[in-house]
Structure formats: structure tokens, C-alpha cells
Structure 1
Amino acid sequence: MAPAENNAESLLVRARQAAKRAHCPYSNFHVGAAVRCADGSVIDGCNVENASYGLSICAERVALFTAISQGKRPIELAVSCIDAKGDAAPGSRMPCGACRQVMQELLPSKADVSIDGVGTRQLEQLLPTPFELRQPTIN
């Protein structure tokens, strides 16, 4: 069994903590994400909204882009929306299509994606037929 600090639940805890830092004055939908990197480090991020919605960014992309910008290789991701009601449908907790596309390029195809309140899925289950300009190099 993996040490407590390296399991999926620990990533979800980090994602929940990151969600508390979200800047979401328009949706009031606090989302956090945490990514485990190949070197064992964990990087988190939260959603940041803007009055011009197209300039907003999701928590998943913040965490993934931060990892890449720090020279890290993301290998696993956890996502949490702390505002989702306990009985919310799984679809309201899932990463958006844009984030799934970014995950497809930056995570291994068999990467685990843990979604708070839904469970763990492999990336290829979340986006079985991604848009690709080239053959993926991460696997």
C-alpha cells in the first residue's frame, strides 16, 4: 500500500484545500485540483474567474500548467468542487472538455484522475477520442 501522503485521498485533500483559495465571484463554484508529478511532488491550483468569462481558467489547467512551468512531469490528477452538493449528479463534478483535452496532452493516457464525489477514472475513460495533431509522446 502506498504511504498516506502518496495516495489518491491525499491528492483530493490538497485539491479541497486549493478550492478554498478559488477566485470565483461570478459562479461561486470553488474548484481545486492537485497533480502528482513523476518526482513525487504535488502541485495544486484553483479556478480563477474574470468578468470576461473567456479569460477565466479552471483549477485543473492551473495545476497542470504550473507543474509544466516548473519543469515537472504530471502523472496523476485529483479534482474537487467543494461547492457541489452531496447529492449532485456526477456530471456537475467532472472536469470540463477543455481541461480533459489539456489532460490528454500533459498526462499519460493511463493516468488516474480522482474526482471528488465520483471516484477515480483513467484519463482515456474521460476522453476516449481526443483531438490530436500528432502522436502523443507521453505514455
Structure 2
Amino acid sequence: MTTPLSASSPDDVTAVCAAHDLTLDEFHALQSHAQEAKTRAYCPYSKFRVGAALLTRSGAYVTGANVENASYPVTTCAERVAFGTAVVAGYHQQQAAAQAGNGNAAAAGGGEGGFKAVAVATDAVGPASPCGMCRQCIREFCDLSVPIIMFDKDSKFIVMKLEELLPLSFGPDALGAPDPAKS
């Protein structure tokens, strides 16, 4: 297991930002948005709050929180809520539209599309990674080099690229479909 870093350490944060092409403001905004989203989790059964924040390539932040259900399989993880919200907002389509030069990117929220980073925050001791289902959901919309930043209750964090969390991944390209992360 990777040794957690500290979000209160300027050296740790600066090194991670440099390694993953993030600004200090983007890192701290991802942390803040994920932790704030965690406060809105609906988890009366597990009491395990999770918040997620996505940073789009256009600089927008999209959040989600876990939403539990008495029928446990109906529960939706924070990461999937965030990506569902981003899809509805059109962020998964912006990249293709921007590259095609047809102007639809502006109609879908403006700017370059796609996702630059994902953050997840929990109340656990030690950072918790996205579950397997969420890793596959992230793969649907993100390039394998996208960093996943995982924060614990004390703002300690681990960063791994999607390809590290989901080696030998199965994505849209395996089905001959356009890969939204590479469009």
C-alpha cells in the first residue's frame, strides 16, 4: 500500500500537482468539493459518507455523494452520482464537440471537455479507493492517466492513476465504440 500524504503539507501537495498537471488551486478545490459533497451523503444504513468531485478540462467541478437504499443493491456510490450528473450536464460530450469544431461544446457548458481529475473523500481512517463498479464507471469517461485522489477523514490522501486502480481495463474501445475519454 502506498503511504498516505498530507493535504496540509505544501511539499506533498506541490509534488502531486507537478506529477499530475494540477494547480494548487485545482487540488484544494477538488479536496474541498469532495469533502463538502460528503456532507450531503444519504447513508442511514452504513453511516459511511462518501463525496466525489470531478474536475472537467474546462475547469468546472461536478460533485456527487453516495445515496443508499433499504434494498442495498440499489445504493449508488458518490463517484457514479458525480459522473451521472456530469453526463446530464454534457461534460462527456464536450471534448468531441470541441475537437470537431462544431460549437456544441459551448452549448454544453463551454470549453474543452473531458475530465482532468477525480477526488473521493470519506470518513475512514486511511484513504479509501473507489469500488470496482466505480472504477469501471470512471474508465467509461476518463483517460487511463487521470489521477484519482483519495482523501481520508484527516485529509491524508493517496493519488493513483486510473490505470493503476484498474489494470488491464475494459473500455468502450474494446467494443469498437468511440471512447469518450479519447474522442
Query: What TM-score range do you get, normalising by the shorter chain?
Result: 0.7 to 0.9
How far 1:131 sits from its partner (Å)? 2.8
How many Å separate the matches in 1 of 2:23 and 2:59?
12
Residue in 2 aligned with 1:100?
Answer: 135
More helix, by proportion: 2
Residue in 1 aligned with 2:40?
Answer: 21
Consecutive unaligned residues of structure 1, counting only runs of 5 or more, are none
The higher radius of gyration belongs to 2
Is 2:25 aligned against 1:5?
yes
How many Å separate the matches in 2 of 1:54 and 1:102?
16
Is 2:70 aligned against 1:51?
yes
How many Å separate the matches in 2 of 1:47 and 1:128?
25
Is 2:124 aligned against 1:84?
yes
Q: Match for 1:57: what amino acid?
A: T
8 Å contact 1:74–1:106 — kept in the other structure?
A: yes
Is 2:165 aligned against 1:130?
no
How far 1:10 sits from its partner (Å)? 1.9
How many Å separate the matches in 1 of 2:65 and 2:25?
20
8 Å contact 1:67–1:74 — kept in the other structure?
A: no
How many Å separate the matches in 1 of 2:39 and 2:140?
27
Normalised to the residue count of structure 1, the TM-score between the two structures is: 0.86
> Percentage identity across aligned positions?
39
Q: Match for 1:79: what amino acid?
A: V
Paired residue total: 132
Residue in 1 aligned with 2:159?
Answer: 120
Consecutive unaligned residues of structure 2, counting only runs of 5 or more, are 1-17, 92-113
How far 1:74 sits from its partner (Å)? 2.6
How many Å separate the matches in 1 of 2:78 and 2:39?
11
Normalised to the residue count of structure 2, the TM-score between the two structures is: 0.66
Q: Cα gap change, 1:94/1:113 in structure 2, threshold over 3 Å: closer, same or farther?
A: same
